Every structure is written in C-alpha cells, then in structure tokens.
C-alpha cells in the first residue's frame, strides 16, 4: 500500500531522540534496536548534537545507518543562531556559549548546512491506513515540548489542526504514551540525557491491521 509517493510502512518503526552528542550511548541503543525483529526504519526526533562530547561521531552514525532525522530546538540553534548577538552575563553562560561554539566547530560548516535543512516534521504513512507525525516538540509548534505531566487541555492545545493518528515527539527526555481522544501521543525519551542517569531510551511502534502498538524500551549504558 502507498500513500501518494510515500511507501506505507508495514514493519516496526524504531524512534530515538535527544542524543545530545553522546555517540557511545547512541551506538548502544542502535545495537539494541538491531537485535529487534522486523525493524523497518529508524527515525530520530531532534536535539541530536549539542551537549555531549562527540557531535560529529553522532552525525556520522546517523548518516551511515540512514536514520531519518527531524530538527530539534538545539539543532536549529546550532544551524542558525548569530552568536555575535548573544550577551553573556555570568560564568555559567560563558561556559554554555563555549560548549555551543565547540560543537559548531566539531561539526563544521558543511554539516551545519545539512542540519539547517533538516525538516521540522516527518509524516509516515502506515500500512493500516494510519499516519504518524514525528516532531521534536508538538504538532502546533515543532519546537514546543509536550510532556507526561500536562493535563488534557494543555496537550490538546499543542495537538494543532492536523496532528495525524500517532504523534511521536522528543524534547521532554521522559518516555510516555497518552491518548487525547483517538490520537496517540508517544514521547520517545532521550538517548543521551535520560533523567535516570545511566540509561537510554528508544520506542518501538508496531502497526497491526486494527491498531498501532507502542512499546518504550530502556537500555542500560555500560
């Protein structure tokens, strides 16, 4: 089955997010995903590079594994912020600015241009007729976070006018699944900055004839 020119996915989709430059964690997660049966594609939901020690290694791995990526808030900043306009008021801000500049330098202009061109959302048709929308933040604003503590009214305000059947998002660093009416919202968690510490997250989406099943997975980092 196809929708327009896009081939509808019939196999399991794996989602990762918020790698934040932690290549070693990414490699462990990808090894776990590779061990799962029937993975059709891997999609990364933003904030790939800023924060960890190996942004270029993360870029290279995402490219070598042909992982589809959307742009997150920190990715947009890396690719577009004019640092000459940034005002530094204390030592903490100075340290953060230096880390930002170091990440830019590690990636280089050619990669930054590729990051600049990343889409802010992806729409993926499923073989059962459903559609998945992948964003970093929310359908209404790809850069505004949805999270597990929001009430239904707050979540509904971020769904937007055309959210799809399943919304997959990053940003919050905490895995969750919520339903707003018939819309399933799946927060992917974080590969590189999980709040639990030495863990990383990924999410599997399995399309069946009568439903879509989401499973959140955890990887112990060693």
The percent of residues in the chain predicted with pLDDT above 90, rounded, is: 86
Please say if the pLDDT value at position 126 is more than 60: yes
Q: Tell me, what's the pLDDT at 92?
A: 87
Instruction: Indicate which CATH number applies to the domain containing 114.
Output: 3.60.21.10
State the pLDDT confidence band at 3, using cuts at 50, 70 and 90.
very low
Residue 42: phi and psi, rounded to 5, are: -120, 135
Please say if the pLDDT value at position 142 is more than 90: no
Please say if the pLDDT value at position 86 is more than 90: no
198: containing domain = 2-220
Average pLDDT over every residue of 130-137: 97
pLDDT tens digits for range 93-111: 889 999 999 999 999 999 9
Domain total of the chain: 1
Q: Residues with Cβ < 8 Å from 216, sequence gap 6 or more?
A: 175, 176, 177, 186, 189, 201, 202, 203
Instruction: Give the predicted TM-score (pTM) of the model.
Output: 0.94
Question: pLDDT: is 1 or 72 the higher one?
Answer: 72
């Amino acid at each position: 089955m196809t929708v327009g020119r896009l081939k509808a996915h019939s196999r399991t989709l794996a989602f990762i997010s918020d790698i934040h430059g932690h290549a070693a964690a990414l490699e462990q997660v990808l090894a776990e995903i590779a061990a799962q049966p029937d993975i059709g594609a891997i999609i990364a939901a933003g904030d790939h590079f800023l924060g960890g020690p190996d942004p270029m290694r993360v870029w290279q791995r995402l490219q070598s594994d042909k992982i589809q990526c959307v742009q997150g808030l920190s990715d947009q900043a890396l690719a577009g912020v004019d640092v000459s306009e940034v005002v530094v008021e204390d030592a903490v801000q100075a340290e953060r600015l230096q880390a930002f500049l170091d990440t830019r330098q590690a990636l280089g202009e050619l990669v930054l241009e590729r990051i600049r061109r990343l889409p802010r959302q992806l729409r993926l048709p499923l073989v059962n007729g459903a559609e998945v929308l992948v964003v970093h933040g929310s359908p209404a604003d790809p850069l505004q976070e949805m999270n597990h503590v929001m009430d239904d009214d707050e979540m509904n305000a971020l769904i937007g006018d055309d959210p799809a059947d399943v919304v997959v998002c990053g940003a919050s660093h905490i895995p969750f699944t919520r339903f707003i009416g018939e819309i399933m919202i799946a927060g992917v968690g974080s590969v590189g900055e999980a709040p639990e510490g030495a863990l990383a997250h990924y999410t599997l989406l399995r399309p069946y004839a009568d439903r879509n099943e989401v499973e959140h997975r955890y990887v112990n980092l060693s």
